[in-house]
Amino acid sequence: MPLGRDEIKERLRNVFQERHEAERAFGLMNDALNRLNINDTEDKRLAITLPHASGGGYAFRLNFGNWLIMSFRNKKTAPISFGVALLAESPELEVHNFFVFAQNDSEPKVNFYRLPIDIAKPLDQDLTVLYNKSLDYIAKRFENWNGTPYKSSHIRELADAVLFLEKRDQFLKDVYEEETLINYTIDALAGDIGLEKGLLEKWLQAIDRKGQAIIFGPPGTGKTFLAEHLARHLVSDGDGFEELVQFHPAYAYEDFIQGIRPQARPDGTLEYSVVPGRFLEFCRKAQDKDGICVLIIDEINRANLARVFGELMYLLEYRNKDIPLSVDGTLFQIPENVRIIGTMNTADRSIALVDHALRRRFAFIQLRPDFDVLRRYHAREDTEFPVEGLVSVLTNLNREIKDPHYELGISYFLCKDLKAEMEGIWRMEIEPYLDEYFFDNRTSADKFRWESIRSSLGF
């Protein structure tokens, strides 16, 4: 039985809680369809589906012939998982989970790998070559097929949004209308965050004044949560949008601004084209909008920022200027409606180590463990958890840590069923962190073992 429109929306929002996550997946799937030479969503070999996934939830899948080619699934306990069919030619991929397709002995072996989503875009050079080669082989393998066993579950409307860019924007607007079209007021923001309205207004003014800000603090203080809600407020009641990118030590200028990437030709040879990075793509979309558009850069300090930003260092300070990009020489200016919010875990790298030239280009918003937020959350949710005992333990623990960059935050304990989850959280999340921090001081770590603090928490 075909899925109704409301059911499609519900399932897609289950897989991708935010619109920017869905846009990223749609883009990757569109690349795959182009590589498979699919230009008609009624191609008998194609099925784009939203089935139930094992273990709960749903999956967003691209099936071709009788093979699963690409899949996305969201688990509450882990980031979105990305699965893709690739030729079994890379030993590096064997560390990831995979299953093997049934094939004849004479055929090149193809596996379906489950990879971290951050690997998916942008692909590095070696993986790009393997990805293109794999899809070219799959396209040839199923060239003469006339069907797929998954056709009865094919969602034409969803496939149209994947294949045709002009249909995608309206489709995703409809799916995420409850989040993107409703005015998310400052009062609603304060209620969801649990912070004072006046403080949030000062932070929003700083973001608007500078154009970019970094939220910094120790683990568990809710930096990404705050960034996402500030972005939601900034883009609400307009046609703007928000996206998120996570930096890591291997992230480079070529990934963020632009770079030269290998592209496979139909004859198997390579051409090297200038490809826009994540920020350029974001800015090009923002140029077509009237409302504020926000890019969240999670873990911004984990990359070499001077290397990643390049000319952006100049443009962040002089928003009304343009400058030629180093790869292709085209003039670039940050659109007036673009805002950037970064998050920085000070346990990974102290704010004092951030380049001074970069520091003066951002407003810095500090988050410390706020126990009033913890109290308000459990009062609002009526959890009946003895919060004051937990506050006392955390206060003593942070006093023992003696470093504001490494203090333990409250987000671990913003859980409606904290009574049932508390022991697991403490043993499997808090104690490993303390073991690492107090690696040369076992006495301090032992003071805060579960057996030592459980009575203070009412257990």
DSSP run (H or E) holding 432 = helix 431-437
CA distances 188 to 82, 183, 199, 228, 379, Å, are: 33, 9, 14, 14, 17
In the chain, the domains with their CATH numbers are: 5-178 (no CATH), 182-366 (3.40.50.300), 373-457 (no CATH)
Which residues are CB-neighbours of 52 under 8 A, at least 6 positions away? 58, 59
Average pLDDT across each block of 10 residues of the chain; the chain has 459 residues. List them in order: 79 85 88 91 93 79 93 70 85 68 82 74 70 91 91 92 87 72 82 90 95 92 91 89 88 88 68 85 89 92 86 89 87 94 80 65 91 90 90 93 90 88 91 90 92 90
In the prediction, which pLDDT does 180 show? 44
In the prediction, which pLDDT does 276 show? 86
The model carries a pTM of 0.62
Q: Which residues pair with 122 in a beta bridge?
A: none
Nearest-angstrom CA–CA distance, 305 and 250? 11
User: Structure tokens of 380?
Assistant: 């609002």
Residue 348 burial (CB count, 10 A):
12
In the prediction, which pLDDT does 306 show? 83
In the prediction, which pLDDT does 99 show? 74
Which residues are CB-neighbours of 443 under 8 A, at least 6 positions away? none
